[in-house]
Structure 1
Amino acid sequence: MTIATDKITYSFAEYLELEETAAYKNEYQDGEIVPMTGGTTDHNKIALNFAAYLKFALKGRKYNIFIGDVKLWIAQYRQATYPDVMLIEGEPIYYETGKTTVTNP
Structure 2
Amino acid sequence: MAVIIKPFSLTVEDYLKQEEKAIDKSEWIQGKIIKMAGASANHNRLTLNLSRLLPLERGEQNYEIFVSDMRLWIEESQSYVYPDVMVIQGEPEFTDSQQMAVTNPCFIAEILSPSTAGFDKSQKFTLYRSIPQLQEYLLIDQKSYRVELYRKVGERQWLFTEFIGKDAIVELEIVNIQIAFSELYKRVKF
- Fold equivalence (TM over 0.5): yes
**Residue 14 of structure 1 aligns to a residue in which SS?**
helix
Cα distance in structure 1, aligned partners of 2:58 and 2:85: 16
Q: What's the CA shift string for 1:27-73, capped at 9, x where partnerless?
A: 001111110121011101101111111127x4443111111110001
Q: Structure 1 segments of 4 or more deviating over 3 A? A: none
In the alignment, residue 104 of structure 2 is paired with which amino acid?
A: N
Tell me which residue corresponds to 2:98: 98
Tell me which residue corresponds to 2:71: 71
In the alignment, residue 48 of structure 2 is paired with which amino acid?
A: L
Aligned Cα root-mean-square deviation (Å): 1.5
Cα distance in structure 2, aligned partners of 1:95 and 1:89: 17
Tell me which residue corresponds to 1:3: none
**Residue 92 of structure 1 aligns to a residue in which SS?**
coil
Q: How many residues align structurally?
A: 98
Alignment of 1:46 onto 2:41: no
Unaligned runs of 5+ in 1: 1-6
In the alignment, residue 55 of structure 1 is paired with which amino acid?
A: P
**Residue 47 of structure 1 aligns to a residue in which SS?**
helix
Cα distance in structure 2, aligned partners of 1:38 and 1:75: 27
Unaligned runs of 5+ in 2: 1-6, 106-190
In the alignment, residue 47 of structure 1 is paired with which amino acid?
A: T
Correspondence 1:11-50 to 2 at 5 A: 11-50=11-50
In the alignment, residue 78 of structure 2 is paired with which amino acid?
A: R
**Residue 34 of structure 1 aligns to a residue in which SS?**
strand
Flag the structure with higher helix content.
1
Tell me which residue corresponds to 1:4: none
Flag the structure with higher strand content.
2
Q: What is the CA distance between 1:80 and its match in structure 2?
A: 1.0
Correspondence 1:49-64 to 2 at 5 A: 49-55=49-55, 58-60=57-59, 61-64=61-64
Q: Does the aligned pair in 1 maintain the 2:24–2:37 contact within 8 Å?
A: no
